Structures are given as C-alpha cells and as structure tokens.
C-alpha cells in the first residue's frame, strides 16, 4: 500500500515538473513581444522626430535673411511696379563674415526680362530703394509669379545666390498697394535657360583715348551643335549715341563649351565721347554650312544696369588699370531692346 502511495506521489511530482518546464518555455515569447513593441516604438519615433540633417537644414534656412518689397498694379496701364526696399540679416557668403548683395527681379511669365539692383559692398543689411516696372496684361497676372533673388557679387567667380522670394501673384490682392517682408528661401532649381558666362577685362586711358577690351575666356556655353558642343567666337561692338560705330571679333574655338581666347582689342574713344559709348559683347556659334547663331550677349556703358554698370563704373574710376570680371550672358532680344536696336540687326565686321 505504501509502495503504491509513494509511486503516486512520484508521478504527481513528475507531472508538476513537466508543467513548470512548459510554463518556463513560454516566457521568452513574452520577451519577444516586448522586443517587437520596442522596435515599433523606435520606428514611430523616427517617423515623428526629425533627423539631425533636417534640423540643420531648417537652421540653415533661417540664416538667409529677409527682404522687404512693395507691389503696385496699375489696372489702366496694365503695369506692375515692384519696389525692392531693403534686406536684413542676410547670410554671410564671404570669408570676412559679410556679403556684396544685389537683387535680380523677374516674372516667370517672361523670364527673359530681368532687372538688377546696384551692388552694395560688405553689408548684410543693404538698403536698395529701387523700383522696376513690368507690362503685364490683367488676364496674365494670376498666371505669373514674381521672383526676387539676392546674389552675392564676386568679380572673379560665379555669383552665389543667397536666397529668393517667390510670390504667386494669384495669391496677392492687387487692388491696393502692398508693402511687406518675406523670408528668403533656398533658390528653386527650376530656372531659365543658361546661356553661359564670359570673362573679359576693360581698360581706359583718358589722356590717349584708348579703350582696351581683353576677351579672356567663356564657360558653360549653351550647346548649339548636334554633337553637344559649339564652335564659339566673340564679337565686340561699339555703339555711339545709339548708332553702330566700331566692331571687332575673336578667332573661332572648335568643339568646346569652355573656350579660352586671350585676345585683345584696342579702340580709339575720345574722352569727350566715352560717356556716350556702349560696349556690346556677344558670343556666337560658328557654322560653315548655315549662318552663325547667336548664343547670348550683354552690354556695358552708362546706360547699363547691375554688374555691367558696376564694371563700367569701376573702369572709369580706375584709369589705366585693367579690370577683369565674369558676366552672365543674356538673351539677345533683351539686350537689343535696352539698347534701342532691332533684334536681328547685323553689324558688318571690320578687319582686325
């Protein structure tokens, strides 16, 4: 009898051990569930909390500064007047902790017509106080966006953009004059066609009346040929009192978008006429079979604006000293309109 009881007790103890073992094996599953929850919470945290890179971009965004401007639309004249007032707390682009800002203003409905303010040296809080007028039919106003871009001027390198303001005119009530501040944002990558840049120097000696134009090089020119390259050359025209006067041209550089010329031209311009002279620099693509195609152009003189006026003024302020500078090529029709010339006017070339 006792043996039967002892056997029963041993069997009971054995069953209890089995039950405990089974229960102990289920506990890790509970831990697994906790682990999955931890992963889920971590994933949600990553989705909700911004990455450090995003935070840095946001801080960078706030450092670009603000721009004050005004808008006034004349319904009778169908003219939009844009006033560029001033900017504050601009981002420092130069090593000295400052910038040389200027503003480019245009409408997306006509990107070829662009205006530039003067350049203000070594300041992060420039006062511009310049106005520009655009002819915009009332029916097209709602389809246009006003773009104001602030650049940092650099004589020997590409001008860096500090930031921009893009204002869709459909979002603005033009029934009255508007004056407001806007934060500068990172410039949009969707821009007008890039025609290229050209570097040249100017030198004028008042006592001898010698104007020297040294065509140095060009870069990132527009592709004009089927092989993705161009055969560029440069024409230098002198306009006196809005009439064609003197012309020169460089040699042709084959199959390149970044030609190096280093060719100099000397013009005789009496000091009494220098204020009435415009220098037109145009870049062309040479073609043996068909006619040469114009890539882009610009002009300098007392009637010029922006960087072109600055370069010309610096030349007159520093007689006998050659001053080199990069310039962005502009659409030909814009330059011709500013000069009062016909868009397709062809000037005969004099021998070099």
Q: Is residue 350 part of a domain?
A: no
Q: Is residue 16 part of a domain?
A: no
**pLDDT, position 19:** 55
Same domain, 203 and 334: yes
* Mean pLDDT in order along the chain per 10 residues (352 residues): 55 60 48 38 41 49 85 93 96 88 88 86 95 89 90 82 92 91 82 81 95 95 82 95 90 94 96 94 91 93 89 94 93 85 46 39
Same domain, 173 and 214: no
Same domain, 322 and 268: yes
- If you search the block for the tokens 């500090």, which residue do you land on? 162
**pLDDT, position 12:** 61
**pLDDT, position 189:** 60
Would strands 210-219 and 197-205 be described as parallel, antiparallel, or unpaired? antiparallel
CA 307 to chain centre: 14
Same domain, 215 and 305: yes
Same domain, 177 and 238: no
Q: Is residue 333 part of a domain?
A: yes
In the structure encoding, which two tokens stand for residue 226, read together? 């089927």
Same domain, 234 and 128: no
**pTM of the entire structure?**
0.53
Same domain, 88 and 147: yes
Distance (Å, whole) CA 253 – CA 250: 9
Helix (H), strand (E) at residue 158: none
Among 154, 183, 212, the domain boundary falls at: 183
Q: Is residue 31 part of a domain?
A: no
- Write down how long the chain is: 352
Q: Is residue 345 part of a domain?
A: no
Helix (H), strand (E) at residue 54: helix 52-62
Q: What CATH code is carried by the domain that includes residue 175?
A: 2.60.40.150
Among 131, 159, 183, the domain boundary falls at: 183
Among 183, 205, 227, the domain boundary falls at: 183
Task: Give the domain range for residue 117.
Answer: 63-183
Q: Is residue 124 part of a domain?
A: yes
Same domain, 201 and 305: yes
Same domain, 226 and 150: no
Q: Is residue 273 part of a domain?
A: yes
Same domain, 330 and 230: yes
**pLDDT, position 10:** 57
Same domain, 175 and 207: no
Same domain, 231 and 166: no
Q: Is residue 136 part of a domain?
A: yes
Count of structural domains, the chain: 2
**pLDDT, position 62:** 58
Helix (H), strand (E) at residue 235: strand 232-240
């Amino acid at each position: 009898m006792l043996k039967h009881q002892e056997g029963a007790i041993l069997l009971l103890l054995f069953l209890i051990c089995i039950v405990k073992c089974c229960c102990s094996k289920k506990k890790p599953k509970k831990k697994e569930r906790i682990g999955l929850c931890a992963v889920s919470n971590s994933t949600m945290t990553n989705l909700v909390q911004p990455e450090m890179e995003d935070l840095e971009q946001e801080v960078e965004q706030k450092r670009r500064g603000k721009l004050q401007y005004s808008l006034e639309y004349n319904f009778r004249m169908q003219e939009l007047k844009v006033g560029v007032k001033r900017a504050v707390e601009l981002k420092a682009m130069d090593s000295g902790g400052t910038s040389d800002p200027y503003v480019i203003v245009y409408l997306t409905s006509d990107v070829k017509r662009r205006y530039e303010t003067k350049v203000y040296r070594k300041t992060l809080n420039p006062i511009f106080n310049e106005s520009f007028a655009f002819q915009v039919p009332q029916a097209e106003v709602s389809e246009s966006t006003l773009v104001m871009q602030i650049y940092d001027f650099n004589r020997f390198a590409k001008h860096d953009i500090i930031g921009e303001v893009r204002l869709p005119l459909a979002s603005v009530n033009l029934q009255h004059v508007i004056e407001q501040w806007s934060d500068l944002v990172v410039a949009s990558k969707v821009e007008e066609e890039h025609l290229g840049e050209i570097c040249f120097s100017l030198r004028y000696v008042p006592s001898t009346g010698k104007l020297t134009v040294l065509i140095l090089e060009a870069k990132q020119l527009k592709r004009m040929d089927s092989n993705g390259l161009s055969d560029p050359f440069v024409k230098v025209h002198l306009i006196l009192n809005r009439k064609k006067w003197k012309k020169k041209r460089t040699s042709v550089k084959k199959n390149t978008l970044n030609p190096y010329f280093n060719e100099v031209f000397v013009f005789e311009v009496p000091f009494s006429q220098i204020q009435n002279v415009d220098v037109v620099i145009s870049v062309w693509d040479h073609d043996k079979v068909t006619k040469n195609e114009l890539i882009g152009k610009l002009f300098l003189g007392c009637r010029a604006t922006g960087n072109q006026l600055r370069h010309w003024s610096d030349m007159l302020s520093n007689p006998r000293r050659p001053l080199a500078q990069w310039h962005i090529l502009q659409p030909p029709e814009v330059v011709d309109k500013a000069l009062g010339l016909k868009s397709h006017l062809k000037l005969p070339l004099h021998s070099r």
